[in-house]
Amino acid sequence: MKKISQLELGLLLCLFNYSTMVGFWIGPLAGIASYSGWAVLPIAAIIGSSAAGVTVWLGNRLDDRMPGHSGGMLQTFLALLLTVPAFGFFLHQAAYIMKEFTDFMAQMYLPTTPEWLLTALFLYTAAIAVRSGLETIVRCASGFFFVVFMASLLAPLLVTKDVNFDRSIALVTHFRFDSMWEAVYKTAPWFGESFFVLFLLPRIDAPQRTYRTLLIASIGSSLVTAFYYIYSMLLFGQSVTAHLTYPVMEVIRYVRIGDFLENMDPLMEAIWTASIFIKLCTLLYIVTLLMTRIVKVKDGRPFSFVTAAIVFGIVNQMNVSTTELNDFFQSSWATFAWFIVLSTILVLALYLSFAKMNAAAYQTPSEEGG
Amino acid sequence: MYITLLTIVFAGIAYREARFIRKHGVKPALLPFTVILVLAFLYNITTIVYRELPSPNAWIKAVFAPLQAWIV
């Protein structure tokens, strides 16, 4: 099986981080950090990807002793302690993103279509991609990357004439430590969730360079998001941006090219949907992978549809309004994500120290002498 | 109607994947697969029958919201 190159991983991570940040986080971020939000994004990217990088660094040091492979009772317990919370986290995250996306589509473009049908169709497509394997998802991401980022970088430039540039002074004068701290704390886990790479290490080529890839991809996607953030702020101001559910879509709606192309938003949303698809597929793949590790099965393919079915159940159970969903997300998700990332680091460190102790205990006297 | 549809979908998954597992000779996978499939089916049915069942969001919020309020 061909290994994933660092470039392919980087492209996947760019889409992974960008898709939800630009779609669902710009409005809440404007409410917290106001005009300093553009600076919060790269800082959060560095902190979040560094947290993910620590898990990858520890994972690299474990190499073939990766939890789940073999070991005594304690190691099995630690392996479960590592995989079960991560399984729950990614399962919930997949359901949350699916719910946000379904809400968005139902509100904006398909108001008469039942939400459960939208969820089922999207999950079905994602489950097929997951069943095809990681290579398919990564190649999809590489293919979509250029389309998504070219379109994303070009579209805001078409609304430049409507932008109020007088507001731009606020971008360098509105810096308040308390609001920036809160924004960084809540934004960094968006990048920290890329610690899923830890579970893909055996499939990655040159895994020791993974941290660099994580950092570059996170900063790159945060800068593109910051670009949209600045446009939203200059176009609508802080208050309106914070109160819009989907500010980026409103920015795109300002684009009018002559008389023949008045609404570009369906086209842009279709392109952006590709990045959401990649993120959902990646999350579903990780959930399926962790499920197979928990039940100790080698081939995870038969589990992809079952995983999708569980996500479908959680999405149905999250049958709340977008406002309630945003409230949950702002009030508790960041701490939940930090808890999972930090506990993963702790468990990996424990696992590594036990593995070292075991190796030392089984060392023969001749080896000690040599 | 919804439950019938769900049952048909799950039966489809069960048939297709069980055939795949048998064909590829990974027989030990059949048991965990069946267990997880049945659990997933029951979970889906429960979410439909008991609409007031607290979602994972409610649990996460109950545990982590006070902690986050203290941190930021």
Residue A335 has pLDDT above 90, yes or no: yes
Separation CA A318–CA A323 (nearest Å): 12
Task: Provide, for chain A, the percentages of residues in helix, strand and coil under a 3-state DSSP scheme, each rounded to the nearest 5.
Answer: 85, 0, 15
Nearest to B55 among A296, A318, A334 (CB): A318
The CA distance from A46 to the nearest CA of chain B, in Å, is 19
> For the whole model, what pTM was predicted?
0.91
- Give me the percent of chain A exceeding a pLDDT of 70: 93
Asked if the model's pLDDT at residue A361 lies above 90, the reply is no
Which phi and psi (to 5°) does residue A295 adopt?
A: -90, 5
With an 8 Å Cβ cutoff, is A333 touching chain B? yes
Tens digit of each residue's pLDDT (9 = 90 or more) over A64-103: 555 554 556 777 788 888 899 999 999 999 999 999 999 9
Q: Does A313 touch chain B (CB under 8 A)?
A: yes
Residues A282-293: tens digit of each pLDDT: 999 999 999 988
C-alpha span between A211 and A57 (Å, rounded)? 7
C-alpha to C-alpha distance for A181 and A40, rounded to whole angstroms: 9
Give the residues across from A354 on adjacent strands: none
Residue listed under structure tokens 């946000």: A100
| Residues A192-198, mean pLDDT to the nearest whole number | 93
Residue where the block lists tokens 């889409």? A15
H or E segment to which residue A206 belongs: none
DSSP state of A68: T
* Contact predicate A292/A300, CB 8 Å: yes
Would you say A269 and A258 are in contact if contact means Cβ atoms under 8 Å apart? no
Per-residue pLDDT at A368:
46
Query: Is B28 within 8 Å of A286 (Cβ atoms)?
Result: no
What is the distance between the alpha carbons of residues B20 and A304, in angstroms, rounded to a whole number? 13
Q: Is the pLDDT of residue A369 over 50?
A: no
Stronger pLDDT, A369 or A328, i.e. the higher one: A328
Q: Given CB atoms, is A160 within the 8 Å cutoff of chain B?
A: no
Here the ipTM equals 0.90
Q: What are B4-39's pLDDT values in tens digits?
A: 888 888 899 888 888 888 777 666 678 888 889 999
Q: Are A94 and A290 in contact (CB under 8 A)?
A: no
A309 contacts B44? CB cut-off 8 A: yes
The pLDDT score that the predictor gives to residue A280 is: 96
Q: What is the mean pLDDT of chain B?
A: 86
Q: How many CB contacts within 8 angstroms connect chain A with chain B?
A: 97
Locate the chain B residue with the closest alpha carbon to A177: B72
- Backbone dihedral angles phi then psi of residue A204, each to the nearest 5 degrees: -105, 135
Task: Choose, out of B6, B9, B60, B67, the residue to mutate when testing the contact with A (most A CBs < 10 Å).
Answer: B60
Selecting from B10, B48, B65 the residue whose C-beta is nearest the C-beta of A331 gives: B65
Residue A297, chain B, CB below 8 Å: the answer is yes
Residue A269: pLDDT band (50, 70, 90) is confident
Higher pLDDT, A263 or A58: A58
Contacts of A181 in chain B (CB under 8 A): 72
**Once rounded to an integer, what is the mean pLDDT over residues A129-143?**
93
